[in-house]
């Protein structure tokens, strides 16, 4: 039997992904000596912080029914699984050549795409009446981030 996730559980996961993303960019900024690059990476971290705030606000606006888990889970295993997935698959610690801004941007774009793929996949698991429409807002936010990263990568290559 598959587990059906509530919008609340998905937003919990989204918040963890955003925390991981902010940490990723801050860690990359620590390893860069160029102040302009450092500022840009810190700006990306701030964007992740803003996404976290957006998703937290969206989560706080969920109705009571959307907050409930539609599956009996007394030990909160589903949420723990989602957190584990966010920590291990999206913006996880990897060996990146931080001396190459191009490699940092490429890794960030992959992580952002992975987060979108996660949200799209989870969208199938969240029934309409449990806040499925809220996930589309998350996906749009992440797509904006990818566009910014792609623009910077193109500028870097030209």
CATH of the domain at 147: 1.20.1260.10
- 71-92: burial string, b at 16+ Cβ within 10 Å, e else: eeeeeeebbeebbeebeeebbe
pLDDT, tens digit, 9 for 90 and up, residues 56-76: 887 887 776 555 555 555 666
Token couple for 45: 């971290």
Q: At what angle do helices 101-123 and 7-30 cross, to 10 degrees?
A: 180
Residue 83 inside a domain? The answer is yes
Supply the pTM of this predicted model. Answer: 0.73
Long-range CB contacts (within 8 A, 24+) of 13-16: 13/82, 13/83, 13/85, 13/86, 13/118, 13/122, 14/55, 14/119, 14/138, 15/52, 15/55, 15/56, 15/59, 16/82, 16/83, 16/86, 16/87
Residue 45 inside a domain? The answer is yes
Q: What domain range is 105 assigned to?
A: 7-67+77-157
Total number of domains constituting the chain: 1
Token couple for 41: 């990476």
Residue 116 inside a domain? The answer is yes
pLDDT, tens digit, 9 for 90 and up, residues 1-50: 455 567 777 788 888 888 888 988 898 898 888 898 889 899 989 988 99
Residue 46 inside a domain? The answer is yes
Residue 96 inside a domain? The answer is yes
Q: Dihedral of the CA atoms 82, 86, 89, 93 (nearest 10)?
A: -140
Residue 145 inside a domain? The answer is yes
Q: CA-CA distance, 71 to 74, in Å (whole number)?
A: 9
Q: CA-CA distance, 8 to 151, in Å (whole number)?
A: 33
pLDDT, tens digit, 9 for 90 and up, residues 90-142: 555 556 666 678 888 898 898 888 888 877 877 766 667 656 677 787 888 88
Residue 72 inside a domain? The answer is no
In order of 18, 70, 94, 128, 140, the CA distances from 90 in angstroms are 9, 25, 10, 25, 17
Beta strands in the chain (DSSP E): none
Residue 151 inside a domain? The answer is yes
């Amino acid at each position: 039997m598959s587990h059906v996730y509530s919008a609340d559980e998905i937003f919990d996961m989204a918040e963890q992904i955003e925390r991981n993303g902010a940490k990723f960019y801050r860690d990359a900024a620590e390893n860069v000596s160029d102040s302009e690059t450092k500022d840009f990476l810190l700006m990306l971290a701030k964007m992740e912080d803003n996404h976290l705030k957006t998703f937290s606000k969206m989560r706080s606006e969920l109705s009571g029914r959307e907050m409930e888990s539609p599956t009996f889970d007394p030990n909160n295993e589903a949420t723990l699984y989602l957190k584990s997935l966010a920590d291990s698959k999206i913006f996880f610690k990897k060996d990146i050549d931080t001396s190459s801004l191009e490699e940092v941007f490429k890794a960030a774009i992959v992580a952002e795409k992975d987060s979108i793929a996660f949200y799209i996949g989870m969208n199938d698991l969240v029934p309409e009446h449990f806040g499925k429409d809220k996930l589309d807002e998350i996906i749009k936010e992440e797509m904006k981030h990818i566009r910014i990263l792609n623009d910077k990568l193109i500028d870097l290559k030209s």
